């Protein structure tokens, strides 16, 4: 008789040489978080939270991460749709390109952004001479950096969700006289809703925590480009308690995201991202 | 001679097979398309709907050329006035029944209010008016398929394509919907094409039967004609139905010899009750199972039939049973042998008669 595969006593005791390293891994993952919580100056939390530097960083982070999510949605949904619904040559190449920022070290991403949009960059130089526009070291640059790292999460999540919906629904809609745009708007997108939400939350969380690309491409100026992660980096050297407070806030956000995504969307999104 | 309402020569070349079918239909005609799996039935429907491009040939409907590759003509699926009903229903799961049915009129530019009025009307005609606000997930298979038929008709199509609309339903539900579909198809002004692998559908709903085999038309004739003189083994097997006629009261059909056939479909009056040879079980001794229709019979003939064995019996005016070669050997089926034949009530389809309870 089969009990729950491999779990019951039927197949024997779990070997210590597997259990010990597993326990070690759990301890290793939780210990830093516990330490962070125990060292946080809770009595000063409220005072720290309302300090000028923290508020500024918090506000900037919220604004830039939400702006990035907006950009990600506007370009990411169409890209996900194209990847999921259109057969075009080089589709796998496009998908590979989309995934690159996922595995690229964020600092390298920042350097790459500089070479493209920097004052002497591929696109940045003509922009500068033509319109006097310079991107690096501005709040807009923060949004650009966030978008760069968050877009792949979103596209993969939404593409997975679109693929998971039956393509026959597109056929049905067409026979009922709907244009492809109408079908996308009234059928495909609503059906992919949970995946879309999961993608949004994942992208937002990724943008909120973004450090490497931001500090490389946008710098670390209070009020304009000093986001929460940047502020943590700075405060750690001057005022470790402030760094702890900021860290706890970001951690709380992460836990909240995890709790939000715990349901089926998370499975959908992760499976969508992992399946390819 | 005037041009036919639907005039199609559908040629679709695929690596695996080629479909090359001529098809004509007049308004009000219901053409059943039958043939084995892989014969190209679904390809034909999809080509007519404009989902699959033709390799050659033409499709002309109601005086409008929908497709003709040689002249570079191709009207998009959404601009052809085609209604489609799919085997799995394929109702949009996120929309209520009402909004599913309103989808077509809405897409063709009607206001939301007008579209919903049309939709309510069609839901009512299909007997599911009270389910307008339900989502597809809250509908039974039969209800969902009624909504799907309403959705296809609400878009006011010139050509109605039904791709095995009853085959995913339980026997009883399919029988009830078949009756209703017959009524709607009879009233429908455009041409209908009914894909089916069920001879009963073809014989009861269609005005003409098109038999497709290996991508070509093997037979084109009246249902009666095709049933009596099937041109392919497939159709012979398909129409090799057991059909018993009798008078039904609720779920009992009294047969001419006085015996009673129990069915799962309530009906009243003169009916035909049919069940396929494969639904007949043969046993050596008196059966002990739950099947309530049982006859003592003697074998009149035994012959191989595809991968099974076809047995003719002398019970109730002649029964056909399909059994596996193994059971044939085990039961010692030779002409003159005595056996018990049983049929489950749920395997029996009842049609004709007065309006069945819905």
For residue B76, the chain A residue with the least C-alpha distance is A174
Chain-centre distance of CA B88, in angstroms? 13
**For B303-313, what is the mean pLDDT?**
83
Give a three-class secondary structure readout of chain B. CCCCCEEEEEEEECCCCEEEEEEEECCCCEEEEECCCCCCHHHHHHHHHCCCCCCEEEEEECCEEEEEHHHCEECCHHHCCEEEECCCCCCCCCCCHHHHHHHHHHHCCCCHHHHHHHHHHHHHHCCCHHHCCCCHHHCCHHHHHHHHHHHHHHCCCCEEEEECCCCCCCHHHHHHHHHHHHHHHHHCCCEEEEECCCHHHHHHHCCEEEEEECCEEEEEECHHHHHHCCCCHHHHHHHCCEEEEEEEEEEEEECCCCCEEEEEEEEEEEEEEEECHHHCEEECCCCCCCCCEEEEEEEEEEEEECCEEEEEECHHHCEEEEECHHHHHHHCCCCCCEEEEEECHHHCEEEEEECCCC
Q: Do B159 and B255 fall into the same domain?
A: no
**For A56-65, what is the mean pLDDT?**
91
User: CB B78 to CB A177 under 8 A?
Assistant: yes
Last residue of a domain, one of B187, B205, B239: B239
Q: Do B203 and B320 fall into the same domain?
A: no
Which chain B residues touch A191 with a CB distance below 8 Å?
Answer: 92-94
CA separation for the pair A88, A94 (Å, rounded) = 10
Last residue of a domain, one of B239, B258, B286: B239
Q: Do B248 and B232 fall into the same domain?
A: no
The minimum CA-CA distance between B28 and chain A, rounded to whole Å, is 20
Other Cβ atoms closer than 10 A to B317: 12
List the single residue in B51, B90, B107 with the smallest CB-CB distance to A169: B90
Quick one: residue B307, left, alpha or beta (phi over 0 = left, psi -120 to 50 = alpha)?
alpha
For residue A181, the chain B residue with the least C-alpha distance is B107
**For B127-139, what is the mean pLDDT?**
92
CA distances from B260 to A186, B244, B251, B329 (A): 53, 11, 10, 30
The minimum CA-CA distance between B6 and chain A, rounded to whole Å, is 17
* A95-101, Cβ contacts within 8 angstroms, sequence gap of 24 or more: A95/A276, A98/A151, A98/A152, A98/A155, A98/A156, A99/A152, A99/A156, A100/A152, A101/A148, A101/A149, A101/A151, A101/A152
Q: Do B232 and B276 fall into the same domain?
A: no
> Any idea which of A218-232, A259-273, B255-269 has the lowest mean pLDDT?
A259-273
User: CB B78 to CB A179 under 8 A?
Assistant: yes
For residue A189, the chain B residue with the least C-alpha distance is B94
CA separation for the pair B347, A97 (Å, rounded) = 56
List the single residue in A169, A175, A182 with the smallest CB-CB distance to B92: A169
Which chain A residues touch B92 with a CB distance below 8 Å?
Answer: 169, 172-173, 187, 191
Residue A273, pLDDT > 50, answer: no
**For B11-18, what is the mean pLDDT?**
87
**Between these two residues, A79 and B352, which has the higher pLDDT value?**
A79
Range of the domain at B212: 6-239
Residue B353, pLDDT > 90, answer: no
User: CB B86 to CB A174 under 8 A?
Assistant: no
User: CB B83 to CB A175 under 8 A?
Assistant: yes
**Between these two residues, B313 and B171, which has the higher pLDDT value?**
B313
**For A100-121, what is the mean pLDDT?**
91
What does the mean pLDDT of chain A come to? 86
Q: What is the pLDDT of residue A212?
A: 92
Q: Do B268 and B299 fall into the same domain?
A: yes
Task: Please check whether residue B1 lies inside any domain of the structure.
Answer: no
User: CB B77 to CB A172 under 8 A?
Assistant: no
Q: What is the pLDDT of residue A272?
A: 46
> Any idea which of A1-15, B206-220, B231-245, B308-322 has the lowest mean pLDDT?
A1-15
Q: Do B199 and B284 fall into the same domain?
A: no
The minimum CA-CA distance between A184 and chain B, rounded to whole Å, is 13
Which chain A residues touch B51 with a CB distance below 8 Å?
Answer: 171, 174-175
The minimum CA-CA distance between B266 and chain A, rounded to whole Å, is 34
A 184-203 residues with CB < 8 A to B:
186-187, 190-191, 193
Counting the structural domains of chain B, the total is: 2
Label residue A274 by pLDDT band (50, 70, 90).
Answer: very low
pLDDT tens digits, A163-212:
988 888 999 999 999 999 999 999 999 999 888 988 998 899 999 989 99
Residue with tokens 């799907």: B148
* Domain chopping of chain A, boundaries: 49-275
List the single residue in B51, B90, B155 with the smallest CB-CB distance to A177: B155
| A166 lies within 8 A of chain B by CB | yes
| Rg of chain A, C-alpha, whole Å | 22
Task: Please check whether residue B134 lies inside any domain of the structure.
Answer: yes
User: CB A174 to CB B76 under 8 A?
Assistant: yes
Q: Do B41 and B136 fall into the same domain?
A: yes
List the single residue in A169, A176, A191 with the smallest CB-CB distance to B107: A176
Please give the CATH topology (third level) of the domain spanning A49-275: MetI-like fold (1.10.3720)
**For B6-14, what is the mean pLDDT?**
92
User: CB A175 to CB B79 under 8 A?
Assistant: no
Label residue B345 by pLDDT band (50, 70, 90).
Answer: confident
User: CB A173 to CB B83 under 8 A?
Assistant: no
> Any idea which of A101-105, A139-143, A234-238, B303-307 has the lowest mean pLDDT?
B303-307
Task: Please check whether residue B217 lies inside any domain of the structure.
Answer: yes
User: CB B92 to CB A179 under 8 A?
Assistant: no
CA separation for the pair B10, B47 (Å, rounded) = 7
Q: Do B136 and B275 fall into the same domain?
A: no
User: CB B107 to CB A171 under 8 A?
Assistant: no
Residue A266, pLDDT > 60, answer: no
User: CB B78 to CB A166 under 8 A?
Assistant: no
For residue A190, the chain B residue with the least C-alpha distance is B94
Q: Do B221 and B273 fall into the same domain?
A: no
**For B116-127, what is the mean pLDDT?**
92
**For B269-291, what is the mean pLDDT?**
80
In percent, how much of chain A has pLDDT > 70?
92
Last residue of a domain, one of B215, B239, B263: B239
The minimum CA-CA distance between A263 and chain B, rounded to whole Å, is 19
pLDDT tens digits, B222-256:
887 777 666 665 776 677 777 777 888 888 888 88
Label residue B91 by pLDDT band (50, 70, 90).
Answer: very high
Residue A276, pLDDT > 50, answer: no
For residue A192, the chain B residue with the least C-alpha distance is B94
**For A242-268, what is the mean pLDDT?**
76
Residue B19, pLDDT > 80, answer: yes
Q: What is the pLDDT of residue A130?
A: 87
Q: What is the pLDDT of residue B357?
A: 43
> Any idea which of A42-51, A90-99, A236-245 has the lowest mean pLDDT?
A42-51
User: CB A179 to CB B51 under 8 A?
Assistant: no
Q: Do B200 and B288 fall into the same domain?
A: no
**For B195-220, what is the mean pLDDT?**
86
CA separation for the pair B335, A215 (Å, rounded) = 92
| A87 lies within 8 A of chain B by CB | no
What does the mean pLDDT of chain B come to? 86
The minimum CA-CA distance between B95 and chain A, rounded to whole Å, is 9
For residue B160, the chain A residue with the least C-alpha distance is A175
CA angle B57, A88, A271 (to 5 degrees): 120
Task: Kindly report the CATH number assigned to the domain that includes residue B11.
Answer: 3.40.50.300
Q: What is the pLDDT of residue A183?
A: 93
* Largest CA-CA distance found in chain A, in angstroms, rounded: 76
Q: Do B170 and B307 fall into the same domain?
A: no
Question: What interface predicted TM-score (ipTM) does this complex get?
Answer: 0.74
pLDDT tens digits, B24-74:
999 989 999 988 887 888 899 999 999 999 999 999 999 899 999 999 999
Q: Do B222 and B270 fall into the same domain?
A: no
């Amino acid at each position: 008789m089969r009990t729950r595969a491999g779990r019951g006593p039927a197949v024997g005791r779990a070997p210590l040489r597997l259990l010990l390293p597993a326990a070690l891994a759990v301890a290793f993952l939780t210990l830093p978080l516990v330490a962070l919580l125990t060292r946080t100056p809770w009595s000063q939390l409220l005072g720290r939270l309302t300090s000028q530097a923290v508020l500024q960083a918090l506000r900037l982070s919220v604004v830039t991460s939400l702006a990035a999510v907006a950009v990600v949605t506007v370009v990411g949904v169409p890209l996900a749709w194209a990847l999921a619904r259109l057969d075009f040559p080089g589709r796998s190449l496009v998908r590979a390109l989309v995934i690159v920022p996922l595995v690229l070290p964020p600092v390298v991403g920042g350097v790459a952004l500089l070479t493209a949009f920097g004052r002497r960059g591929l696109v940045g130089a003509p922009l500068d001479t033509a319109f006097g526009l310079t991107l690096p070291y501005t709040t807009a640059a923060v949004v650009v950096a966030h978008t760069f790292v968050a877009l792949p999460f979103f596209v993969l999540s939404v593409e997975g969700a679109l693929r998971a919906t039956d393509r026959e629904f597109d056929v049905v809609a067409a026979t009922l006289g709907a244009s492809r745009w109408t079908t996308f708007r009234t059928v495909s997108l609503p059906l992919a809703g949970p995946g879309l939400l999961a993608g949004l939350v994942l992208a937002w969380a990724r943008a909120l925590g973004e450090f490497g690309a931001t500090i490389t491409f946008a710098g670390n100026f209070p009020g304009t480009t000093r986001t929460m992660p940047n502020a943590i980096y700075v405060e750690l050297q001057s005022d470790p308690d402030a760094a702890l407070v900021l860290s706890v806030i970001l951690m709380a956000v992460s836990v909240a995201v995890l709790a939000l995504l715990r349901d089926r969307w998370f499975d959908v999104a992760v499976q969508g991202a992992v399946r390819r | 001679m005037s041009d036919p309402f639907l005039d199609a020569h559908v040629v679709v070349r695929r690596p695996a097979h080629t479909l090359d079918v001529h098809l004509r239909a007049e308004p009000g005609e219901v053409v059943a398309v039958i043939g084995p799996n892989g014969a190209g039935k679904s390809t034909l429907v999809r080509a007519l709907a404009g989902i699959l491009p033709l390799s050659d040939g033409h499709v002309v409907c109601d005086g409008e050329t929908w497709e003709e590759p040689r002249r570079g003509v191709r009207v998009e699926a959404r601009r052809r006035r085609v209604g489609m009903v799919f085997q799995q229903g394929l109702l949009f799961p996120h929309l209520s029944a009402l909004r599913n049915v309103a989808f077509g009129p809405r897409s063709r530019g009607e206001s939301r209010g007008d579209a919903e009025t049309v939709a309510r009307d069609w839901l009512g005609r299909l007997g599911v008016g009270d389910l307008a606000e339900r989502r597809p997930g809250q509908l039974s298979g039969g209800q969902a398929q009624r909504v799907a038929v309403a959705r296809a008709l609400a878009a006011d199509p010139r050509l109605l394509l039904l791709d095995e609309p009853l085959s995913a339903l339980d026997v009883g539900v399919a029988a009830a919907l078949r009756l209703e579909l017959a009524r709607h198809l009879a009233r429908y002004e455009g041409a209908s094409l009914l894909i089916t692998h069920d001879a009963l559908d073809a014989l009861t709903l269609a005005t003409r039967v098109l038999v497709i085999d290996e991508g070509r038309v093997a037979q084109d004739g009246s249902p009666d004609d095709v049933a009596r003189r099937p041109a392919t083994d497939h159709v012979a097997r398909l129409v090799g139905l057991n059909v018993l006629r009798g008078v039904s009261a609720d779920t009992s059909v009294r047969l001419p010899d006085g015996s009673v056939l129990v069915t799962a479909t309530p009906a009243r009056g003169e009916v035909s009750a049919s069940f396929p040879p494969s639904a007949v079980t043969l046993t050596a001794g008196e059966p002990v199972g739950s099947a309530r229709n049982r006859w003592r019979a003697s074998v009149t003939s035994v012959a191989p039939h595809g991968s099974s064995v076809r047995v003719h019996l002398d019970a109730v005016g002649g029964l056909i049973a399909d059994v596996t070669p193994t059971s044939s050997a085990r039961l010692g089926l030779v002409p003159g042998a005595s056996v018990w034949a049983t049929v489950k009530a749920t395997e029996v389809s009842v049609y004709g008669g007065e309006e069945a309870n819905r």
